[in-house]
Amino acid sequence: MFYAGSAVAQPMPLAERITLCGTCHGEDGNSRMQNIPSLAGQPEFYVLNQLFLMREGVRRIEVMTAFVKDLKDDELDALSKHYAKLAAKPSDEPTDPALVQRGTELANARRCGSCHLPSLAGQDQMPRVAKQRIDYLIVTMKSYRDSPRPGADTAPPSPASRIPTSPRSRIMRRRGSGAGLPVFC
């Protein structure tokens, strides 16, 4: 736990901040690094919310702490608007058409599109999963299954928790569209 501090950091100009973020998350917001998420095309509210939760120590990602701990609310706002405007591009990770097919079926059955939208572009507090890095999605889904992320609403873990590991890896390879709704609350 952290107590609310009064540390005042030197504000970094937004452009400089974005360059810094881009060293891992990609200059254009599309990550080319293993297990590092793409931020391009993420819903504005989603980015704001996650940066906020990381800054406050609710969602703890050690490597991110130094970068987010001094961000002011208006900087969170500016970064969120920036990444929401960028175009999401698929990563160059290899995909297996059979797995893509199986993932499409699973995503339809699990009704992922209900919150993440049929296009899986995400909305509000729900992240874009379309065109996200596959390795990052696998890691994220596994951690959701094994222990729900603090700061997230209770929505996604319930359906994810019942997906065994191997088909779950497949679900992430999906790039198509789906519809339906999940199980939560």
Partner 1 sequence: MTSILSYRRSILLAGVLGLLMTAGPAVAQAPPGFSPLDKTKPAESKQDTNLKPHPTPPTVTALDKLPVDKLKLPNGFKAEVWSHGHPGARTMVRGDKGTIFMGTRLIGRVYAITDKDGKREVKTLLTGLTQPNGLEFKDGALYVFAINKVFRYDNIEDKLDNPGDPVELTEKFNLPDTVHHNWKYVAFGPDGKLYVQVGANCNICEVNPGIHAQIRRYNADGTGMEIVARGVRNTVGFDWHPVTKELWFTDNGRDWAGNDGPQDELNRIAKGQEGAFYGFPYCHANNVPDPDVKKPNPCQGVVLPAALTGPHAGGLGIKFYTGNMFPKTYQNQAFIARRGSWNREKKFGYDVALARITGGTAKIEPFLTGLLDEGKNEFYGRPTYVLQAPDGALLVSDEQNGAIYRISYGAPRTAGR
Contact residues toward partner 1 (CB under 8 A) are 1-4, 45, 48-49, 52-53, 56-58, 60, 73, 76-77, 111, 114-115, 124-126, 145-148, 150-155, 157-158, 161-162, 179-185
In terms of CB distance, is 27 or 146 closer to partner 1? 146
Cα-to-chain-centroid distance, residue 111: 18
- Least Å distance between CB 165 and partner 1? 14
In terms of CB distance, is 20 or 58 closer to partner 1? 58
101: nearest Cα among 181, 164, 178, 179: 178
49: nearest Cα among 21, 80, 78, 82: 80
- Least Å distance between CB 93 and partner 1? 28
CA distances to 6, 44, 106, 121 from 145, in Å: 36, 25, 15, 22
- Least Å distance between CB 40 and partner 1? 20
Q: Locate tokens 């998350």: which residue?
A: 25
In terms of CB distance, is 87 or 183 closer to partner 1? 183
In terms of CB distance, is 152 or 171 closer to partner 1? 152
3 state SS of 126: strand
- Least Å distance between CB 9 and partner 1? 16
The two tokens of residue 61 are 């990602």
